[in-house]
Amino acid sequence: MPCSGVVYSQMDKDVLHQVEQILGHEFTDQALIAKAFTHSSAVDNRLDSNERLEFLGDAVLSLVICQSLFEKFREYPEGELTKMKSTLVSRGTCAQVARRMGLPAYLSVGKGMVSSKALPGSLAAGLLEAVIAAIYTDRGFEAAREFILHSFSSLIEQVDAEEARGNYKSLLQQHAQELFNVAPMYVLLDEKGPDHNKCFESEVVIDQRHFPSAWGANKKEAEQKAAYNALVELCVLIRAETGDDTPY
């Protein structure tokens, strides 16, 4: 099996066969899958990379996930479905799926990235989106839909009512482990008010990175809000368009 960062001028037959077995899809147009696994750093012309496929794959993924959630969670209003969809199509989740399948090992990157111990999550996420677009272009929407639902099935099952309604600490724990291989830390920064009516300020620290703090009526609420801020900063969630700039 090739190592992540190896540059291919062309995907040879053995590698192509391995990739097709992982994806469960035999390509009629092999040039599509070769392009899907070519990062822009490996080519002189960005049009020869997987960037355009990534653009298309993002749209196909969003449509399939939206349809799946719409049909599976019939009792959920639009706001809850939006939160669930944002989690499932996020860069962190896409990177998680790509790595679980072992796809980054086959990504062709430029020489400057070969020495990297691990490819950034954004590259793994983009690769998955490019693969989705390649399947969609090669065999149509139903083939892409089947691949997405198979790849995301366990994650869709995990998106339950508790997570959708604001268990941001649990969600952050998952993404911090996946993206940074460390657990988030919650730091109490300040507390104000009399004993019977205190409020607390907390922040999240992940791998020495500090995220925007948040205030809450108790420590648990402050930590949930701080976790939400971290998820927004990591582009896992899109900040709700509310007047008070909080998820509550």
Q: Is the CB of residue 100 less than 8 Å from the CB of residue 181?
A: no
CA-wise closest residue to 184 among 213, 207, 214: 207
CA dist., res. 170 & res. 193, Å (int): 29
Q: How many alpha carbons lie under 13 Å from residue 157 in its C-beta half-sphere? A: 6
DSSP string, 115-148: T-SS--HHHHHHHHHHHHHHHHHHH-HHHHHHHH
Distances in Å between the alpha carbon of 40 and those of 36, 43, 227, 233, 238? 11, 6, 33, 25, 27
Q: Which residues are catalytic?
A: 58, 129
CA dist., res. 97 & res. 78, Å (int): 25
CA dist., res. 26 & res. 21, Å (int): 8
Helix residue ranges, H only, 24-167: 30-36, 51-72, 78-88, 91-101, 111-114, 121-139, 141-158, 161-164
Q: Which residue has the tokens 């490019």?
A: 130
Find the length of the chain: 248
- Burial string for 198-218 (b: 16+ CB within 10 Å, else e) reads eebbbbbebeeeebebbbbee
